[in-house]
Amino acid sequence: MLPHLAAATPPGGSEIFFSEFFGTAILIMFGAGTCATNNLLKSKGMGGGWLMINFGWGLAVYMGVYAAWKTGGHLNPAVTIAKAVWHAINPDVTLNGPALAEGGIPVTAGNIAIYCIAQFAGAFVGAVIAWACYKLQFDQKMDDPRMKLYCFATAPEVKSGPWNVVTEAIGTFALIAFVMVSGGTPTQVGPLAVALCIVVIGIALGGPTGYAINPARDLAPRVAYAILPMKGGKSDAQWSYAWVPIVGPIIGAVLAVLAVLAVGMAV
């Protein structure tokens, strides 16, 4: 969703896949790594706090978006779904921003599938890389083994499916709405602005659930956590909650597109 970063000619299927794959892998490697720094025993950054996590994830988005510049830096199925909904209302909209004649990637079922598959695959690989970096720390026995899970996936402080969905929907709404209205600003700060948006979403709206705001960011690392070995023991993957960071962001993304278009503020 960063048109000024789009390629001059539209990427093909493999280029789309690897652009989103590497971008999302970078996002999760740095994001999950930040959580591991904060959460794990024998980490020099243990206890760095919520603000460190917020800024770590913001900078992770910043770097991931640049890595995936050819495809618009979605890194998130909710962003891709938002583009699809926007295209359904305005057929001129492409997946990476520019018009088709200027290198835009057409919104087709096949391209949407490539984006989403690449995002989930990249998120899984990024989580595995973060685990490898902190292998010895993950092997430590912890009084609360859930802290290992929280390096990979989100969880609510107060569990309530409907209200947790509301929280995730609001956070994703804020992200998608911001991206839709900010692309044409004179400063053209692009990925940095999105990164700072992620930071403030975490600070202001992330407390209840840990702000996944991205189905791939939560589900793929949760799968990685479930299968990766950790000698010191680990908690279950909390699969009963795993649907919330999928449903909430999708709802928020769709509502954001409809709301921004309704008030005529989309770029």
Tell whether the model's pLDDT for residue 249 goes beyond 60: yes
Query: 35: which 2 tokens?
Result: 């959580």
Classify residue 51: in a domain, yes or no. yes
What pLDDT does residue 159 have? 97
The model's pLDDT over 133-179, given as tens digits with 9 standing for 90+, comes to 999 999 999 999 999 999 999 999 999 999 999 999 999 999 999 99
What pLDDT does residue 185 have? 54
Tell whether the model's pLDDT for residue 25 goes beyond 90: yes
Domain holding 116, by residue range, is: 3-262
What pLDDT does residue 3 have? 44
Question: Region 205-229: what's the mean pLDDT?
Answer: 98
Categorize the per-residue pLDDT at 13 as very low, low, confident or very high, splitting at 50, 70 and 90: confident
CB 75 within 8 A of CB 175: no
CB 203 within 8 A of CB 131: no
The tally of domains found in the chain comes to 1
What pLDDT does residue 6 have? 47
Tell whether the model's pLDDT for residue 92 goes beyond 60: yes
Q: What mean pLDDT is reported for the chain?
A: 94
Classify residue 74: in a domain, yes or no. yes
CATH code of 158's domain: 1.20.1080.10
Classify residue 267: in a domain, yes or no. no
Residue with tokens 């999928």: 246
